[in-house]
Structures are given as structure tokens and as C-alpha cells.
């Protein structure tokens, strides 16, 4: 890291949230697919050069999440011998002694992998210091945000898109939209876009998307202990799609960061043809006149424990499980095909237009409940069954499912894309009471998003500049 680098310009990138509408549990197996929709709640990453006084040289990267209290991470970085890549070390916040040092494995790992990849492309170039800000749309958190007033001089009537959550990050309540995947992907894309010239990395190109997907999958998998299928990273990069996972051996054979050969093997893996992920964007479309509605149920589910139990049952009762798996896979493909068929159909109004869609959703729910009963896991628990049945009878609601691994904390509905339908749904859910559940049901302010990663205009973040 020695030659003088070219001047760097501020960069901003965002990625969408996600919801796995069909394919929970199946998506863990390469034989099957998951139908994942991106959601229009986004996590944004803004990278700028660090401003220093004349004659002052620093060698650090400052990461902040200014919507939260005390969300500051400072990192030093240096190259390792024997092709070990770049090591990132968290520094104490010397000028802010009141702030306790918190560890964020997703940020630290994403930074390690991104800087290592950059170093393999530009081994003789100094990696300059930078400031990185992470901003999230309100829908990721159920904490009520405080609106941040705008710059009075430049825009007296504008309010910021990004709320001040006024809590520490660890005290924030997530709504389960996949914040870690959107964070890692937008963070990785922004860092690569900031440090690399367009001819080396361009997030708008097919090659750039492939590199971003592979690198984000590698770092996210490392940060969360090499579990999960990666569908959330795929949707953060590509938006809504039909997804088939990569072979786990791709990442299990990668050396640990800073180990001998890590840098070259990471680059080879990221740029190479070994990835066997299948991402089919054309296989899924949302018909005009329909939309997704996400509902947050004020309960909680232990997803890792649920997954472990379902997979243990599948191993024990292979023939029984495979029959359900195959039927669910057929149902998932039928759902994607029917949505795509409706999307390509001439607009027509008829009472039976969505009958086939309703039947597919109902059939898939029956299979999900059967899998839950046989595995002893509450994938669609009785409380959620009653809630979904209640919603499905409301005017304008086609049907719904418990997304992802299932459980108690969310449902997703397909509804007619009319303001009066959504308004009536919110009113009905506000009045809904379940005899066995105390949690409230609320509509999350999101809808489907077909677009994945994208560059953003820096003016979007004016109110959250470095003074925050």
C-alpha cells in the first residue's frame, strides 16, 4: 500500500429488504428454490473521504450509524504477509471515552472482505481513510422514529427520509426484513464503488452485480457463522427473484481472513465461475393491480431452533419429508408462474381473476401446516392460521402466508393495489383480537421492490452529513 492514489469522490448505494414468500426450509437445499420478493425499505451506505487538517495524516476508517445513539466504530487496517489480505482492527474511541466499544461482526467482516478484494486489484495503491455512514428506512425498526428537521436555508419544507431512532442499536426492535443482508450488501457495494474505478467495479454492470453478490455472500456467511442459504443477499443484489442456493462447500473451503492465501483465493472465488447459484429474475413478476403487504405480529420466533428441528425430522423421516418437499416445490413454482401469467395478461376485471392464485396459496399453506405438524415445529401456528384466514376473507385480500421459516412474528399478504383496500385492512387488523394471543398486529410500511442494489444521489442524505 504505497503509491499515491487518485482523489476519491463520495459514493452512495442502497439495497432492499426481503421477504421469502415461498420456499422456507426448502431454500436450504440446492435441489429446491425459494421465491423471494425484495421490499422497498432500503439500507443506504454513504462513503466519503475523511476531511483532515493540512499536514495531518490518518490511517483509519470511521463507520457510523447516526440514527442510533453511540453507533460508532473506528477501524485501523493493514496488509498481512503471505497473501493474507487486509486485517481490520477495531480501535478505541479515544476522543469519546463515554462511548463503550461495541463489536459489529457484520460491518467488520464486510470491511475486511471488501478491502482485501480491493487490495488484490490494486496491491501497490494506498487505501485511503474514509468515513462510512449507514442509514436505514423506518420499516426496518418498530421503534417510532423522530423526524429530523431539514436544512432551513436550502429546503424549508422538506423532512428527512431517515428518522432519528433515539436509542442505542442494541435496544432497537427489528421487524425482520433482513437488515443484516441489506447492510452487508449495500456496505460492500459502496466501499467497492468508492475505492475502485468504474472499469474495475461497476455496480450497474452484469459483472459488477456478480462480483458484488459473490463477495457479499462470502462475508455475510462468515459473519453469521456459515449458516443460511443466501437468498437474502441475492435479493439485496438482484431484487425479487426465484433463488436456488450455492453449494456450501464453495465457502467452507475458503481460508479464514488473514490466513495464508486468503486474498488470492477470495478473489478467485469472487470472480470465478465456480458459483452454482441460480437466480431467475424473469421467473417472478408482480401483476399490475396487486401488491404485497407485510404485517408485524408483536411476538417472536426462534428461527435457528426451528430450522434445526425441521431438518432433524427430515433426516429421520426422509421419505415422508421428501414427499412434502416435492409438493411444496411444485406449489412454489406454480405460485411464481401464476403471478407471472397474471402480470403478462391484459387488464381485465372479473370476480374469478385471482381464483387460481387463491387455490395455490391455500394448497401451499396446507402443506406447510402438514410439515409443521409432522416435525413438531410451529411453522404456521394456530394463531397465525386464524389471522391469515381472517385476513383472506377481507375485501381485496387474495391470500397470505407466514413467510420464511414461519413462526409467530410476521405474515405477508397479497392484496389488490388500492388505497381503500389497504386502509380497510389496517382498520380491520387494528380491531383484530385472537383468544390465545396478546400481541398486536400492525401493517409495516413496505411493498414489493423488483429492483435490487442501486446507486443513490448524495442529496438524499443532506440532513445526515458529518455533523450528526
pLDDT tens-digit readout, 44-69: 999 999 876 554 556 789 999 999 99
Confidence of residue 463 (pLDDT cuts 50, 70, 90): confident
pLDDT of 159 > 70? The answer is: no
Contact yes or no for 223/114 (Cβ under 8 A): no
Domain 11-153+161-281+455-464 CATH assignment equals 3.30.230.10: yes
DSSP type of residue 99: S
pLDDT of 95 > 60? The answer is: no
pLDDT of 9 > 50? The answer is: yes
Residues 6+ apart with CB under 8 A from 335: 21, 22, 35, 357, 360, 361, 364
Contact yes or no for 44/59 (Cβ under 8 A): no
* Lookup: cell for 62: 470511521
Domain boundaries, the chain: 11-153+161-281+455-464, 290-449
Q: For the residues 129-135, what does the mean pLDDT come to?
A: 96
pLDDT tens-digit readout, 431-462: 998 887 767 888 999 999 999 999 999 999 98
For 376, left (φ over 0), alpha (ψ -120 to 50), or beta?
left
Containing 269, the helix (H) or strand (E) segment is helix 262-271
* Lookup: cell for 155: 429546503
Confidence of residue 313 (pLDDT cuts 50, 70, 90): very high
* Rounded Cα gap, residues 121 and 200, in angstroms: 8
pLDDT for res 35 = 96
- If you search the block for the grid coordinates 478505541, which residue do you land on? 92
Classified by CATH at the fold level, domain 290-449 comes out as Alpha-Beta Plaits (3.30.70)
pLDDT for res 298 = 65
Q: Are strands 130-136 and 61-64 parallel, antiparallel or unpaired?
A: parallel
pLDDT tens-digit readout, 187-240: 999 999 999 999 999 999 999 999 999 999 999 999 988 878 999 999 999 999
Of 107-121, 168-182, 365-379, the poorest mean pLDDT is in 168-182
Give the whole-number percent of the chain exceeding pLDDT 70.
90
Q: For the residues 108-126, what does the mean pLDDT come to?
A: 95
pLDDT for res 98 = 44
HEC profile of 270-339: HHCCCCCCEEECCCCCCCCCEEEEEEEECCCCCHHHHHHHHHHHHHHCHHHHHHHHHHHHHHHHHHHHHH
pLDDT of 2 > 60? The answer is: no
Predicted TM-score (pTM) of the model is: 0.92
Q: For the residues 249-273, what does the mean pLDDT come to?
A: 94
For 410, left (φ over 0), alpha (ψ -120 to 50), or beta?
beta
Give the whole-number percent of the chain exceeding pLDDT 90.
72
**How many CB atoms are located within 10 Å of the residue 156 CB?**
9
pLDDT of 301 > 70? The answer is: no
* Rounded Cα gap, residues 358 and 365, in angstroms: 11
pLDDT for res 92 = 73
* Rounded Cα gap, residues 380 and 459, in angstroms: 43
* Rounded Cα gap, residues 373 and 387, in angstroms: 18
Amino acid at each position: 500500500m504505497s503509491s499515491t492514489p487518485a482523489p476519491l469522490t463520495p459514493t452512495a448505494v442502497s439495497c432492499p429488504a426481503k421477504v421469502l414468500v415461498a420456499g422456507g426450509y426448502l431454500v436450504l437445499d440446492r435441489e429446491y428454490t425459494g421465491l423471494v420478493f425484495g421490499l422497498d425499505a432500503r439500507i443506504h451506505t454513504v462513503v466519503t473521504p475523511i476531511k483532515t487538517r493540512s499536514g495531518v495524516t490518518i490511517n483509519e476508517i470511521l463507520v457510523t450509524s447516526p440514527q442510533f445513539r453511540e453507533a460508532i466504530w473506528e477501524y485501523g487496517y493493514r496488509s498481512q504477509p503471505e497473501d493474507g489480505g487486509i486485517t481490520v482492527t477495531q480501535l478505541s474511541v479515544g476522543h469519546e471515552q463515554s462511548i463503550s466499544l461495541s463489536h459489529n461482526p457484520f460491518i467488520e467482516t464486510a470491511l475486511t472482505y471488501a478491502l482485501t478484494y480491493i487490495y488484490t486489484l490494486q496491491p501497490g495503491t494506498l487505501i485511503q481513510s474514509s468515513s462510512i455512514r449507514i442509514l436505514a428506512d423506518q420499516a426496518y425498526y418498530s421503534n417510532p422514529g423522530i423526524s429530523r428537521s431539514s436544512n432551513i436555508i436550502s429546503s424549508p419544507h422538506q423532512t428527512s427520509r431517515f428518522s432519528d431512532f433515539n436509542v442505542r442499536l442494541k435496544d432497537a426492535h427489528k421487524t425482520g426484513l433482513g437488515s443484516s443482508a441489506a447492510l452487508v450488501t449495500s456496505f460492500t457495494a459502496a466501499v467497492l464503488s468508492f475505492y475502485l474505478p468504474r472499469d474495475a467495479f461497476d455496480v450497474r454492470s452484469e459483472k459488477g452485480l456478480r462480483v458484488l453478490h459473490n463477495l457479499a455472500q462470502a462475508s455475510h456467511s462468515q459473519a453469521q457463522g456459515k449458516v443460511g442459504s443466501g437468498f437474502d443477499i441475492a435479493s439485496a443484489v438482484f431484487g425479487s427473484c426465484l433463488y436456488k442456493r450455492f453449494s456450501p462447500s464453495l465457502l467452507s473451503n475458503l481460508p479464514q481472513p488473514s490466513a495464508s492465501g486468503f486474498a488470492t483465493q477470495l478473489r478467485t472465488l469472487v470472480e470465478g465461475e465456480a458459483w452454482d447459484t441460480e437466480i431467475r429474475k424473469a421467473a417472478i413478476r408482480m401483476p399490475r393491480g396487486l401488491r404485497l403487504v407485510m404485517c408485524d405480529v408483536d411476538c417472536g420466533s426462534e428461527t435457528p431452533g426451528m430450522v434445526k428441528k425441521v431438518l432433524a425430522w427430515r433426516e429421520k423421516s426422509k421419505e415422508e419429508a421428501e414427499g412434502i418437499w416435492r409438493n411444496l416445490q411444485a406449489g412454489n413454482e406454480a405460485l411464481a408462474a401464476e403471478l407471472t401469467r397474471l402480470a403478462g395478461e391484459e387488464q381485465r376485471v372479473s370476480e374469478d381473476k385471482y381464483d387460481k392464485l387463491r387455490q395455490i396459496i391455500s394448497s401451499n399453506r396446507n402443506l406447510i401446516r402438514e410439515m409443521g405438524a409432522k416435525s413438531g415445529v410451529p411453522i404456521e401456528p394456530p394463531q397465525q392460521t386464524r389471522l391469515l384466514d381472517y385476513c383472506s376473507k377481507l375485501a381485496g385480500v387474495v391470500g397470505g402466508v407466514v413467510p420464511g421459516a414461519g413462526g409467530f412474528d410476521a405474515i405477508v399478504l397479497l392484496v389488490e393495489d388500492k388505497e381503500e383496500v389497504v386502509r380497510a385492512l389496517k382498520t380491520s387488523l387494528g380491531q383484530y383480537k385472537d383468544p390465545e394471543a396478546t400481541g398486536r398486529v400492525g401493517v409495516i410500511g413496505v411493498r414489493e421492490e423488483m429492483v435490487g442494489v442501486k446507486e443513490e444521489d448524495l442529496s438524499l442524505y443532506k440532513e445526515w452529513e458529518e455533523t450528526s
